[in-house]
Amino acid sequence: MIDPHVTIEPSILYLGTPVVLISTQNEDGTANLAPMSSAWWLGWRCMLGLQTASQTPQNMIRTGQCVLNLASPKQADAVNRLARLTGTETIPELKQRLGYAYEPSKFEVAGLTPIASQTVAAPRALECPIQLEAVVAAQHGIMDDDPQVAGLLSAFEVRITRVHVHPSLLMDGHENRIDPAKWQPLIMNFQKLYGVSSTEIVPSRLAEIEEKSYRMPDVDRARDVVLEPAGWCNASRDGFDPNRDLRLG
Ligand SMILES: Cc1cc2nc3c(=O)[nH]c(=O)nc-3n(C[C@H](O)[C@H](O)[C@H](O)COP(=O)(O)O)c2cc1C
């Protein structure tokens, strides 16, 4: 078969990831809210790719806490209102060139309502259908092998400490399952905002595995948490055994 592909050099490879509005607490106790989409999940952990100097990661480093508010297409306008705003008073040169402005009242500007979280100090965004309270477990450098970029980008591993879901997203007959046919993530696809279809393409073979087979110890760990103390640490790898098997479900 002839290979029809062409070889290209796109400047970005934002091939489609969900939009997350991260809320954090500023040094003066007020709330910051920022859209991002370099996010993916494993168990009750999420990895977040962020420009280290932005207000959000700085707040996460200082407090060790955040809330991941998942946007649906209904929050697309709010995401647009937050675009090119920053909670840092001194705007870095690149952001100045890209037209960023300082905005200390992001919830207000977005038209979203801050409500109290249960395990972290940062508030949740009421209108977002899924809100994940989280604490920072680790921070890793991204592109640290390139001296021009080293230190500028970070991947944060956060551990979810509470999951809040709008009841309309629950799978019928299951109090602890989100129905993928009902949850519609807002997707950033090459800087543009898209929804996803609720039509399942084919019955998934993977989905024949029961969800509870994937349940990690973090779920039970989170149950007893009332309010996480501020502060975080890079998880220790002492005693790590690569041949150890996961014992789940
Ligand atoms: C839809 C969308 C997705 C974004 N994704 C990211 C991202 O994944 N990582 C990042 O560092 N910035 C991302 N940004 C840019 C941040 O929102 C921007 O850096 C902002 O200034 C952060 O706010 P803060 O400085 O108050 O934390 C995204 C912006 C939008 C509108």
Neighbours of 146 (CB within 10 A): 10
DSSP 17-45: EE-EEEEEE-TTS-EEEEEE--EEEETTE
Looking at the predicted structure, is the pLDDT value of residue 37 above 80?
A: yes
- Beta-carbon contacts of residue 240 (< 8 Å; ≥ 6 apart): none
Q: Per residue in 77-114, pLDDT tens?
A: 999 999 999 999 999 999 999 999 999 999 999 999 99
Q: Which residue has the CA at smallest separation from atom 31 of ligand 1?
A: 83
Percentage of the residues of the chain whose pLDDT score is greater than 90: 89
Which residues have any ligand 1 atom within 6 Å of their CB?
19, 32, 34-38, 49-51, 54-56, 79, 83, 86-88, 100, 188
Ligand 1 atom index nearest CA of 54: 25
Any idea which architecture 17-223 has in CATH?
A: Roll (2.30)
**Which of helix, strand or coil describes residue 57?**
helix
* Residue 232 confidence (pLDDT): 56
For ligand 1, mutation pick of 19, 24, 37 (most atoms within 8 Å of CB): 37
* Residue 234 confidence (pLDDT): 53
Give the span between the Cα atoms of 118 and 110, in whole angstroms. 23
Ligand 1 atom index nearest CA of 32: 26
* Residue 224 confidence (pLDDT): 83
Mean pLDDT score of the chain: 94
